[in-house]
């Protein structure tokens, strides 16, 4: 099983090298190849943990990032989550063939709200299985859920063998909140990572998410976050 860093380690990185917690993200439907190339160059320059992109751009990202420490993360069933499970499985397998190294899947929100927990768990399980041991994050889309549904979603992700739970797609009416992070951490303990995503645009907000229990940050403003950290102003020999 992939190693999941602890909240303590994440909190240290937030103060010393926040870039290593960031999935540098470009998921807008109007994104162009030129913009993805820029994203990859920024990821290499700032040493972000990964780039998070739509499956279509995975081969392009691979051409820039192959041999580097920057991983390629892609999204499955995005952004609504109501794709058929077998389609999510196929999408996952094909993305990995193209070069994806981490998977962020959107939970079936409708099934969760219908309390069809067996279907929700199975939906996650087939993606985890298709990911063949690669890190799989489950996007709950918390802005659409009650606190009880968020907790159940976390429990089902844990039962299904996922490695992370994630707050948001960033495409609906709300993003990450510290209250949600604390709630999720209370359910998953240190067994799963937590990715805070949606509305995180500066260093101070990123740190608050990590202090609340997040161990990964998804953000399109990764460069702004890093440049806002005290660490960014240190000479190279002090970093």
Report the largest interatomic distance among the alpha carbons of the chain, rounded to a whole angstrom: 55
Question: 232 pLDDT exceeds 60?
Answer: yes
Question: 236 pLDDT exceeds 80?
Answer: no
Task: Please tell me the distance from the alpha carbon of residue 227 to that of residue 239, in angstroms, as a whole number.
Answer: 14
Q: Quick check: helix, strand or coil at residue 24?
A: strand
Per-residue pLDDT tens digits for 15-31: 999 999 999 999 999 99
Considering only residues 231 and 91, tell me which one the structure prediction assigns the higher pLDDT: 91
Kindly indicate the confidence band of residue 237, based on its pLDDT and cuts at 50, 70 and 90. Answer: very low
Domain ranges of the chain: 7-227
Task: Please tell me the distance from the alpha carbon of residue 96 to that of residue 142, in angstroms, as a whole number.
Answer: 27
The contacts of residue 52 (CB under 8 Å, 6+ apart) are 23, 24, 25, 26, 27, 73, 74, 75, 104, 218
Question: 1 pLDDT exceeds 90?
Answer: no
Instruction: Look at residue 83 in the predicted model and tell me its pLDDT.
Output: 96
Per-residue pLDDT tens digits for 109-168: 999 999 999 999 999 999 999 999 999 999 999 999 999 999 999 999 999 999 999 999
**Mean pLDDT within 87-99:** 98
- Kindly state which CATH superfamily the domain 7-227 is placed in: Aldolase class I (3.20.20.70)
Per-residue pLDDT tens digits for 61-86: 999 999 999 999 999 999 999 999 99
Task: Please tell me the distance from the alpha carbon of residue 115 to that of residue 107, in angstroms, as a whole number.
Answer: 13
Active-site residue set: 104, 166, 195
Question: 2 pLDDT exceeds 90?
Answer: no
Instruction: Look at residue 163 in the predicted model and tell me its pLDDT.
Output: 98
CB-CB neighbours of 224 under 10 Å: 14
Task: Please tell me the distance from the alpha carbon of residue 73 to that of residue 164, in angstroms, as a whole number.
Answer: 13
């Amino acid at each position: 099983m992939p190693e999941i860093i602890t909240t303590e380690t994440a909190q240290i990185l937030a103060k010393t090298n926040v870039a290593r917690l960031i999935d540098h993200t470009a998921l807008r439907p109007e994104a162009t190849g030129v913009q993805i190339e820029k994203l990859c160059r920024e990821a290499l320059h700032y040493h972000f943990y990964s780039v998070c992109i739509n499956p279509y751009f995975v081969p392009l990202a691979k051409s820039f990032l192959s041999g580097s420490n920057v991983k390629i993360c892609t999204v499955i069933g995005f952004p609504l989550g109501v794709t058929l499970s077998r389609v999510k499985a196929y999408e996952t397998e094909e993305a990995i063939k193209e070069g994806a190294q981490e998977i962020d899947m959107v939970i079936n929100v409708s099934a969760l709200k219908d309390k069809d927990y067996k279907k929700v768990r199975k939906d996650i399980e087939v993606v985890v299985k298709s990911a063949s041991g690669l890190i799989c994050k489950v996007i709950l889309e918390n802005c659409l859920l009650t606190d009880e549904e968020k907790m159940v979603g976390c429990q089902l992700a844990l039962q299904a063998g996922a490695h992370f739970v994630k707050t948001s797609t960033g495409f609906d009416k709300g993003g990450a909140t510290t209250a949600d992070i604390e709630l999720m951490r209370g359910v998953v303990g240190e067994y799963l990572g937590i990715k805070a995503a949606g509305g995180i645009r500066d260093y101070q907000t990123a740190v608050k998410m990590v202090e609340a229990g997040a161990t990964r940050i998804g953000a399109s403003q990764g460069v702004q976050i890093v440049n806002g950290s005290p660490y960014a102003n240190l000479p190279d020999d002090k970093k």
